[in-house]
Amino acid sequence: MHWMLDMTFREDESRIRKGNGALAFNVLRKIALNLFKQDTTKKISMARKKKIAALDDEYRSVLLESVIKMR
């Protein structure tokens, strides 16, 4: 999992080290990575899914709706 986090989110280059910030961002990155892994609508890399999710509101809502449907 560390390699995926580093390649997708450049986690090793993160400068967040003090307080609870490092832990909070680690958890958020893992949640996002799991959302991208569960998404089967697009057959593209994790980094590409991250970029598309940042730019496309519809795709981002599809990702978030998949979490709601799992409950």
Please give the Cα distance from 55 to 16 (Å, whole number): 24
pLDDT at residue 52 tops 90: yes
Asked if 4 and 33 count as a contact pair (C-beta separation under 8 A), the reply is yes
Q: Which amino acid is at 6?
A: D
Residue 56's pLDDT band, with cuts at 50, 70 and 90, is very high
DSSP state of 23: H
Q: Are 49 and 39 in contact (CB under 8 A)?
A: yes
Tokens of 4: 């995926």
Predicted TM-score of the model (pTM): 0.72
Tell me the pLDDT tens digit for each residue of 5-33: 767 777 777 777 788 888 888 888 888 88
Q: Would the pLDDT of 3 be above 70? A: no
- CA quadruple 1, 16, 28, 11: dihedral sign: negative
